[in-house]
């Protein structure tokens, strides 16, 4: 009776060859991922504004923090720019998804909002037109956003929200809270969506803070807790420099585990009757 010979075991050379091939594949995958992260970071840096507009009596500052592990960059943005009628626009948002695709979509939204705002004074109309514009390009992504318009003549702040987290406000008399205004769906979901507008006349000196959920929410850190922490920090810094307030608000991200990227915009303003001129 013939016996089967046992299968020939792999030689040391064969094992080393296989190990080398797998190592090369792993290195190639890691290098590809790193290249995508670096591209997303470059897109992010180029698309975020270097400065924000200001007028006497109104100071603005912003800060951005990339994802802690470098894999979730690309979704958050902020912007600020003058409007043709003399007003100032400020906006902040968060794109669904991350990496290069989200960074590119973020750029489309930012440019789209600037283009629409040049011909629409009402923040709700700006978001509505931008929503339909983004749907027309059929990207498949969506984004939350808050859009503000500041009128230096009436000293009024008008705002509209598209599924974004509430802003935080505080005044020099010790009052503070969340700007839980009515809003609409995120941009890029449903055509013809409308966005209610909230008007605030800035009769008392204070500040208004916009942020993304990367600042206030984490795997084991509820968004309500994060908002409450930001509100307390902001209330304690009324009268401080806007950049200092922005840094203080961003510090809350350290409690969340900070997996996502994060952005903050701060507007510090004088009371309407105390403004220069």
* Residue 113: per-residue pLDDT: 95
Instruction: Look up the pTM and report it.
Output: 0.82
pLDDT beyond 70 at 214: yes
Asked if the model's pLDDT at residue 169 lies above 90, the reply is: yes
Q: What b-and-e string marks burial along 96-129, b requiring 16 or more CB atoms within 10 Å of the CB?
A: bebbbbbbbbbbbbbebbbebbeebbbbbbbbbb
- For residue range 85-118, list pLDDT tens digits in order: 999 999 999 987 666 677 778 888 888 999 999 9
Predicted local distance difference test score (pLDDT) of residue 226:
93
What pLDDT sits at residue 256?
79
Question: At CA 79, angle to CA 105 and CA 61, rounded to 5?
Answer: 145
- Looking at the predicted structure, is the pLDDT value of residue 67 above 90? no
């Amino acid at each position: 009776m013939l016996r089967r010979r046992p299968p020939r075991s792999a030689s040391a050379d064969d094992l080393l060859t296989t190990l080398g091939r797998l190592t090369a594949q792993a290195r190639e995958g890691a290098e590809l991922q790193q290249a995508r992260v670096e591209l997303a970071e470059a897109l992010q840096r180029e698309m975020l504004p270097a400065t924000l507009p200001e007028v006497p009596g109104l100071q603005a500052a912003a800060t951005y923090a990339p994802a802690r592990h470098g894999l979730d960059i690309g979704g958050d943005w902020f912007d600020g720019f003058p409007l043709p009628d003399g007003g100032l626009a400020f906006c902040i948002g968060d794109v669904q998804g991350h990496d290069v695709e989200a960074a590119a979509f973020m750029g489309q939204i930012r440019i789209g909002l600037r283009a629409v705002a040049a011909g629409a004074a009402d923040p709700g109309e700006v978001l509505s037109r931008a929503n339909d514009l983004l749907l027309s390009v059929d990207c498949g992504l969506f984004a939350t956003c808050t859009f503000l318009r500041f009128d230096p003549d009436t000293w009024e702040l008008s705002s509209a929200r598209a599924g974004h987290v509430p802003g935080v406000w505080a005044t020099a008399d010790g009052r503070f809270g969340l700007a839980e205004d009515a809003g609409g769906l995120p941009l890029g979901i449903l055509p013809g969506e409308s966005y209610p507008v909230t008007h605030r006349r800035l009769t008392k000196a204070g500040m208004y803070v916009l942020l993304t959920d990367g600042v206030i929410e984490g795997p084991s850190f509820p968004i309500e807790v994060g908002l409450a922490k930001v509100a307390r920090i902001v209330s304690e810094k009324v009268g401080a420099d806007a950049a200092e307030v922005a840094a203080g608000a961003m510090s809350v991200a350290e409690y969340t585990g900070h997996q996502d990227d994060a952005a903050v915009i701060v507007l510090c303003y004088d009371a309407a009757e105390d403004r220069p001129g």
